Structure 1
Amino acid sequence: GLLTTFIFFISKSENERFSTIKFLLNHYIYRYLRYTIFYALILLIHITLSPYLGQYGPVYPIDGSETLTCRRTWWRNLLYINNFFDIRDGCMAITWFLAVNMQFHWIAPLFLLTVAWNWIFGMLVATAFILVDIITTAVIVSKNNYDHGILSDLYSNGSHWSNTSHNYMNDVYIKPWCRIAPYAIGLVLGYAVYEMYKRSNTVSWESLLPQRRLTRANRIKQILAWIFALFILALCIFGTYGDYSGHSLNRSERIAFLTLSRLGWAIGLSIIIIACFTGHGGIVNKLLSHSFFDSLAKLTYGAYLWHALVIFVNYLSRDQPTHYTVANILYNSIIHIIIAYILSFFTFLLIELPIIRLLKNAFKRPTLSS
């Protein structure tokens, strides 16, 4: 949401003849083509080649391929509506996130055009998004008595998903109305970042706001903001520790965690982003601003689409059970990441990069340097 809002206002400020209709066409068509062309290629590979990649393992022919389902449901993925169907009757289950992300992109103009007209009404739209998330998630979780640890129970019934985990995935985990709050926070943050950017009279990301010597009071505020952000992030990660240490959370605490943890995570990250943006990020800002991440970011989309196939082929083609240890999981995770990024590197150069350049030339997308 942050980049969507920021790029929108940059485009609007640099174009004296800004057209809402032209913006909407650009907003929808560019994003759809940017995501879908490469996505369709990976989907095609998944359908046609995956049955032949793990044929030496005894498990693979049974559970290792979504080919039959994909041939029947692929169109849901390309329309980005696959998260509205049963996740067990879908193709490339991990792509529920792409569907949710695209759906948020579709409704983002409700906020963008409103906040451009009147920032107060824009904030009301964002608040409505957040309330929809909180209320619907709380109601669904409470009604069905879902547990925060439900995802660890996905395969508790042999090789099949347990009914409770399956229902939670379908009802909450992959639904846009249960995930829109973090995106709304990003939209608001993008507007705040743009306002700071506009007042800074500079185009340098490293000095977007005037640097000044911190007073004692300002330094205390900065430290408190960092402590608050890290506390929220830690609470989202370790908030359910009691269930694993003999002090189980009660029903209200579990509902609160499932309802507010994603929102809290977004707020914590937003505080850190603001700190980095205003020159108060310290070593965190230096690390995240390293040029290494610029290159890595270009490969992330491809690695995301490749990684599930890499994992399936590795695990489901084995001819003996896997012994789970921390070292074993860590080793396999590193190997999976490396292979996924290698595949992404080659497909980025051969396919994704030409697509990006063609689309940017066709749609004249703005860049920060412009």
Structure 2
Amino acid sequence: MSQTDSQHLRKGPLKYLLVFSAYSNFNKIFYINTKENPAVISCLHGLRVLSMTWVVWGHGYMFLLGVTKNVVGATVLVDEVIEQIIGNATFSVDSFFFMSGLLVAYGVMREHKRAGRVNWIMYYVHRFIRLAPPIALTAGAMATVARFALVGPYGPHVERGIVESCKNYWWADTLFCLPQCWYTGVDTQIYVILPLIFIPLLWRPKIGLPWMGIMTVVSFVIPTVIFAVYNAVPALFFAANDRVRGHLPEAVVSSERLPRRVLGGAADLQGVGQEEALLGWLLAALVACLVIFGVANYNTTDHPDLMPPAVSVIYGGFSRGAWALALLWVVFACHTGYGGPINTFLSHPSWQPLSRLTYTMFLTTIPVQFVYSGAVFLPLYLDHLNKIVETCGYLFIGGLLAILLSLMTEGPVLGLEKLLIRRPGRGEEPKKAE
């Protein structure tokens, strides 16, 4: 077929069928754009992939503890550095909250600049179209075919906990029957209220900027107050405390994650001086290290100290927002030319294909881990080398399933959305997606 015929098909009625082309959608996933585009925050590609790897690695320790034979003896294998990186892997999820808020704000601001307005109805419609189909297909697979792989001694346990949940409750809440979809639940709650922050900024910047500052402060204060009122401890993997953790209300989860989305939305990508850039990198590195390693005495398996209430409140209320501030500087510096080798690494074009698959990998890798725990017969022994090998396997198998899931849902659905729903100021959308 000639190029002219191909272009004719893309402009004719068959364009509605071409969006289902696995060949075209596969090429879009693995297309690598080597041209610099100032409209694209390219360092986010590397941040997404590294954050997803951290998520999967941390889940490897958490989800398979029930089938590990040396849980008690494995404590001697953990040193302080690795222990904190594993135990604080939850901050990798906060990285995604931050990036989500940043991209939502960036997209809204660009749409308002190009079209002079924002279609808030489509703001929510696009959200549902973007998230629901991959989740629905994954939940359907877990409710039907996954059970045939659960042939190991722990298979019935996994089937009762995951498969039956998707089978019985998908109709009530399609978005959240999968264990990992607590993230999409919290993210959606915050997504719903973000226009309350954006609208004043778009209409009256002189009012909107102070309003955003107030909301940023509030987003730190609310989780701090909740941690104090409920006498809770931060959700650390190894943390010891003389108080019962209990089940905090969902408001704690949502408000604790709010600073990441607000700070992501507050990013103002403009340049700074060389001295300020150096100081920014030093402060960002210091803050990130304090967040990960600052409570090592309490977050350890080797005779941990009891976490005092003051430490719980301060760390629980501010650590998530502090992590977002560190990431905010990384993105700010990399996008404004002060990233140096870090930007070269994070913005390398080779990250792009995997970056496009992080959402579907988020959906596929955890089911792979659960199925593995329900299918394995041999005793599993916890050590770091085994977990690294397992993580590579989860990423590979989950990645293959993520490609399939993207080809069956993301590519066709988003392609149809672009054809059927014309959004103002979105003529450059394909370029932005690179």
State the TM-score, normalized to the length of structure 2: 0.68
Corresponding position of 1:62: 157
Could you tell me how far apart the structure 1 residues matched to 2:348 and 2:249 are?
36
Per-residue CA distance 1:164-198 (angstroms, 9 max, x = gap): 455148563xx212211110001111xx23xx4xx
The amino acid across from 2:319 in the alignment is: S
Corresponding position of 2:190: 104
> Where does the alignment leave 5 or more consecutive residues of structure 1 unmatched?
83-90, 155-162, 197-208
Change (3 A) 1:128 1:71: farther
Which moves more between the two structures, 218-227 or 262-271?
Answer: 218-227
Secondary structure of the corresponding residue to residue 241 of structure 1:
coil
Could you tell me how far apart the structure 1 residues matched to 2:171 and 2:225 are?
31
The amino acid across from 2:278 in the alignment is: I
Q: Which runs of 4+ in 1 moved over 4 A?
A: 163-166, 168-171, 245-249
Corresponding position of 2:230: 144
Corresponding position of 2:64: none
Corresponding position of 1:3: 103
1:181 is aligned to 2:236: no
Could you tell me how far apart the structure 2 residues matched to 1:170 and 1:8 are?
27
Per-residue deviation at 1:120? 3.8
Alignment of 1:2-151 (within 5 A): 2-15=102-115, 18-20=116-118, 23-54=119-150, 56-65=151-160, 66-75=162-171, 77-78=173-174, 82=176, 91-148=177-234, 150-151=236-237
Q: In the comparison of the two structures, how many residue pairs are matched? A: 322
Corresponding position of 1:205: none
Asked whether the equivalents of residues 104 and 265 of structure 2 are also in contact (C-alpha less than 8 Å), the reply is yes
Asked whether the equivalents of residues 157 and 374 of structure 2 are also in contact (C-alpha less than 8 Å), the reply is no
The amino acid across from 1:73 in the alignment is: Y
Could you tell me how far apart the structure 2 residues matched to 1:110 and 1:169 are?
23
Counterpart of 1:238 (choices 265, 290, 293) is 293
Asked whether the equivalents of residues 42 and 306 of structure 1 are also in contact (C-alpha less than 8 Å), the reply is yes
Counterpart of 1:223 (choices 278, 281, 294) is 278
Alignment of 1:162-177 (within 5 A): 164-165=244-245, 167-168=247-248, 172=252, 175-177=253-255
Asked whether the equivalents of residues 129 and 414 of structure 2 are also in contact (C-alpha less than 8 Å), the reply is no
Per-residue deviation at 1:318? 2.1
Asked whether the equivalents of residues 30 and 363 of structure 1 are also in contact (C-alpha less than 8 Å), the reply is no
The amino acid across from 2:113 in the alignment is: S
Which moves more between the two structures, 131-140 or 35-44?
Answer: 131-140
The amino acid across from 1:36 in the alignment is: A
Could you say which structure has the greater relative contact order, defined with CA pairs below 8 angstroms and 6 or more residues apart?
2
Measured on the aligned residues, the alpha-carbon RMSD in Å equals 2.6
Change (3 A) 1:146 1:48: same
Change (3 A) 1:357 1:170: same
Per-residue deviation at 1:132? 4.1
> Where does the alignment leave 5 or more consecutive residues of structure 2 unmatched?
1-100
Asked whether the equivalents of residues 140 and 166 of structure 2 are also in contact (C-alpha less than 8 Å), the reply is no
Question: Which structure has greater helix proportion?
Answer: 1
Asked whether the equivalents of residues 57 and 319 of structure 1 are also in contact (C-alpha less than 8 Å), the reply is yes
Could you tell me how far apart the structure 2 residues matched to 1:76 and 1:179 are?
25
Change (3 A) 1:31 1:170: closer
